[in-house]
Amino acid sequence: MTVVLQPLYDRLAQTARNGDTATYAAVAPLAALDMGSPADRNRLAVLLDEINQHESGQGRPLLTALVVLADKKMPGQGFFDCATRLGRTVGDDHLTFWLAEVRHVHEYWTTAERR
């Protein structure tokens, strides 16, 4: 994990252990990014995709399912696009896919050996 990704990854892992979600605005500063900047929003999307690639490569659920838009309480379209690229079957019902992925993430990260 790169130096830039580690604090973000650690926060998401803790969020998962807590059975919670986090907004893009809450996690962006962990990578020294500002969600008010379009370039920083794009950079955050790249970083979250890297985390998803890492998790998928380890056979784990997509940890970034926990990162949501503050107003919609769901991830942005980029999450679903990345999940599809990683071979997940997203389908047309994003809500159902997302809820299942969040459940898998929370289940994975709240097992005793990962606490």
Q: What is the spatial distance between Cα 79 and Cα 58, in angstroms, rounded to a whole number? A: 18
Contact in structure between 40 and 33 (CB atoms under 8 Å): yes
Mean pLDDT value across residues 16-37 = 95
Token reading at 28: 């962006």
| % of the chain exceeding 90 in pLDDT | 90
How many domains does one find in the chain?
1
Mean pLDDT value across residues 52-78 = 96
- The pTM of this model reads 0.92
Mean pLDDT value across residues 65-80 = 96
Range of the domain at 95: 5-114
pLDDT at residue 40 greater than cutoff 90: yes
Contact in structure between 33 and 44 (CB atoms under 8 Å): yes
